[in-house]
Amino acid sequence: MTRRVLVLNGPNLGRLGSREPDVYGSTSYAGLVDACRTLGKELGFDVEVRETNDEGEMIRWLHEAADGAIPVVLNPGAFTHYSYGMRDAAAQRTAPLIEVHISNPYAREEFRHTSVVAAVGTGTVAGFGIGSYRLALRALADELTD
């Protein structure tokens, strides 16, 4: 049986490949989507990758995941640091939720050192570029088999 997984991306992540490549790498958003779907298939997941610049839409997606017991890989982008609404939606999770970041927030500006999501997630993977998503999907697979 293939398990549905949502990979949810917050603001500006749709601009991967052109947005600050020195920080976020040269992989395009389409490349990220392909990488997640390919590894997901290997892990027995039906991965759906989404991106939004809208906080309300992200909250609705997290509600959808909670209502359907759908595991989530979440890169909240800038919402990480201030969106208590998104944090409260993530806290309603009924399946594992792995927070992911392409860069290492702790090696960047001080305002990026705080995640309002971390305390309500299963775990966090950060600092490995697009590889952070691969690590998060593997961690999700481990969580779901334990």
Annotated binding-site members for substrate: 75, 81, 88, 102-103, 112
pLDDT of residue 3: 94
CB atoms within 10 A of CB 110: 8
Q: Higher-confidence residue: 83 or 15? A: 83
Going by the annotation, the residues of the binding site are: 75, 81, 88, 102-103, 112
Name the CA dihedral angle for 127, 130, 131, 135, rounded to a multiple of 10 degrees.
90
Q: Which two tokens stand for residue 31?
A: 């490349």
Q: Mean per-residue pLDDT for 34-46?
A: 96
Average pLDDT, the chain: 89
Active-site amino acid positions:
24, 101
The lowest-confidence range among 22-31, 39-48, 60-69, 92-101 is 22-31
**Domains plus CATH for the chain?**
3-145 (3.40.50.9100)
Span of 31-35, 63-67, 86-90, 103-107 with lowest mean pLDDT: 103-107
- Model confidence, pTM: 0.90
The predicted pLDDT at position 78 comes to: 87
Residue 45 in tokens: 């997941």
β-partners of residue 78 are none
